[in-house]
Structure formats: C-alpha cells, structure tokens
Amino acid sequence: MMRDRSRREQQEPAGARGAQLRRQGAGAWLNNYFLRHAQTLFYAIGELSRRPFSTLMTVAVIGIALAMPAGLHVLLKNVQSVLSGWDGAAQVSLFLHQQTREPAAQALAGKLRARPEVAAVDYISAEQAMEEFRRLSGFGDALSALEENPLPPVLVVHPVLSRQDPASLAALVEELRQESTVELAQLDLQWVKRLYGLMEIGRRGVWVLAGLLALGVLLVVGNTIRLAIQNRRDEIVITKLIGGTDAFIRRPFLYTGIWYGLLGGLIAFVLVQSSLGVLAGPVSDLAGLYNSSFRLAGMDLPTTGALLGGGLLLGLLGSWLAVGRHLRAIEPT
C-alpha cells in the first residue's frame, strides 16, 4: 500500500522553497516583494482601463468632489494675497481744524515724524484736497460755485509695519486725538477687520465642505470596490481554495482604490486649473480697473501635492473599509 516510497524523492520536499529563498537572502526577497506589488499596481490599472467608461464615471465623481474644496481653497488664497497688499496700508487720517495754517500743520507733521511708531506723514492742504476731490468726484462745476473751500487740511499718518496690530493702532489714534489742532482722527481699519472675519468664515467653510466631500469620496470608492468584490466572487473563492492569503486577495482591490483616488485627484486638478483659466481674464481686467497688476494664481505645488495625496489616501481608505467588511464574508463552500 505504501509502494514507490523511494520515488518520493523526485517530488520537491516541503519547505524547499523557503530554504531556496533563505539562500537568496533578504535582498532578493525584498526585490520579489516589491516586484509583486508593482505587478499588482499595473494589474489594477490594466483592469480599470479594460472598463474605461465606468472607470471614468467613478473617477469623475471623485474628481468633482475633490475639486470643490480645492478650488475654493485656491480662491481664498487669492483673496488673501489681494488683502495682504492692503494689510500694510493701515493709515490714520488726521483731519485738522479748518483754520489751521500750513506752518502749524507742517510743524505737527514734523513732530509726528519724530515718533518711533510713525513711518511717514503726508500733508494734504485744503487746496490739494479740493483739487483731488474736483478731479475724482465729477462735481467739478458744482464745486466751483462754492465760495470757500469746505475741506480741512489733512495729515495722513503711516504707522511702521511692526505697530500695525489693532491694539497699537488704537493707542496711536488715541494719542493723536489729544493734539490741539486735530479735529478728527480716523483709523479706517474696520472694513479690513470685517473682511478678515468673512475670510475666516470662508476658510472654516472650506474645511467643513472638504470634510463632507471626503466622506462622499470614501463612500463612492467603498461602494465601487464592494461591487468589484461581488463581481469577482468566484475568483476570490478559487484563490482562497488554492491557498491565497487574505493579503494577496486584498492587494489588487486596495491598488484599485488607490488608482481611483489618484485619478480623481488628477481630474480635480484639471478642473480647478481650467476653471481658474476661465476666470483669469475677467479678474485681471477688474484688477486693471483698480490700478492693480494682480493676477489670479493657480494651484501651487503644496496644494497640488495635498490634492493628489489626499485623493490617494481617500481611495486607499475607502477600499480598505470595503475590503475589510466584504472579503471575509466570502469563503469557499
């Protein structure tokens, strides 16, 4: 009954492969490991390209979901860069009493220039103010009818950059008010503060939106991978029957998720960049009207990296969740 035992030698004894691998050393093993991962990576993209339409649909949904927060983020950054131009332009306007003569005004200007927190002081005489107002307001003729100039002389005080925080500015304004020739000291910063408040809301809004849409991407990838697992149920069963480990079976699905996320990120990048391209013309026209050379900035490298990396991670996480839930349920019977 146990005949031909001697021929057993022709069969490779169990564990021979392990010994062979040990002889090859850790380097070869590592090489083999990366090779297998690389193969799975390209196998996964091959599988996706075999169903271009459904792949494109899934990737487009992910791309749009990623493009919305990314686009808003880029727009906010642009608004911020516009504001930073005005940020250093905090100035205090000192409206002097109507009857203040130029020497007195110049004397005050000189006194103010000597203060360490003041960078510069501009003197605008009542006549200069009138001239400017005539030119810019469009009431030229009507103003000529006035018998006397109703405008006061003005000193425009530019604080040094390091003293432009709200508290220092408020203190400076308080001191300037004490000057006898000053009728009114006006710090026109309120609107900047309000704008910053709005920006902060916008930034939080982008985060909330990004969170919600990231959840959406997770669900899209998870559901797509779940369907893929169901479609390949037979293959999974057979692979398990002939000794495929969970890691082996999981791997192609995880790489598929990674590809979905990465391609979605690329689509989002293209969407954001082309939307900015559409907006760039009108924006620079508008900036020209404000005498600004402002140009809409596109996605910078960190933002692009975050977009692609975020897409990749979301794809991996989504497929991981699906695989963890559904793969274990498929067992051979």
Which of 93, 149, 239, 284 binds another protein (CB under 8 A)? It is: 239
Stretch binding another protein (CB under 8 A), from 60-68, 118-126, 233-241, 306-314: 233-241
Nearest approach in angstroms of CB 333 to another protein is: 7
Is residue 37 a contact residue for another protein (CB under 8 A)? no
C-alpha–C-alpha distance, residues 38 and 44, integer Å:
10
The neighbouring-strand residues paired with 154 are 95, 124
C-alpha–C-alpha distance, residues 96 and 102, integer Å:
11
Residue 139 has which token pair?
């009431």
Which of 11, 84, 178, 190 binds another protein (CB under 8 A)? It is: 11
The neighbouring-strand residues paired with 96 are 182
Residue 328's contacts (CB-CB under 8 Å, 6 or more residues apart) are 246
Residue 227 has which token pair?
């369907």
The CA-CA-CA angle for residues 282, 287, 293, to 5°, reads: 120
Stretch binding another protein (CB under 8 A), from 1-9, 57-65, 83-91, 169-177: 1-9
- Closer by beta carbon to another protein, 20 or else 274: 20
Q: How far is CA 15 from CA 27, 30, 33, 69, in A?
A: 20, 19, 19, 54
- Closer by beta carbon to another protein, 175 or else 246: 246
Yes or no: say if 298 and 98 are a contact pair by the CB < 8 Å rule: no
Is residue 46 a contact residue for another protein (CB under 8 A)? no
- Closer by beta carbon to another protein, 216 or else 244: 244
Residue 99 has which token pair?
């009857």
Is residue 23 a contact residue for another protein (CB under 8 A)? no
Stretch binding another protein (CB under 8 A), from 12-20, 70-78, 186-194, 309-317: 12-20
How many residues at the interface with another protein, by CB under 8 A? Answer: 31
Which of 117, 131, 179, 235 binds another protein (CB under 8 A)? It is: 235
The neighbouring-strand residues paired with 186 are 93
Which of 60, 199, 240, 321 binds another protein (CB under 8 A)? It is: 240
Yes or no: say if 155 and 185 are a contact pair by the CB < 8 Å rule: no
Is residue 14 a contact residue for another protein (CB under 8 A)? yes
Is residue 329 a contact residue for another protein (CB under 8 A)? no
Secondary structure of residue 327 in the 3-state scheme = coil
User: Where does this chain bind another protein (CB under 8 A)?
Assistant: 1-5, 7-12, 14, 17, 32, 36, 234-235, 237-246, 248, 331-333
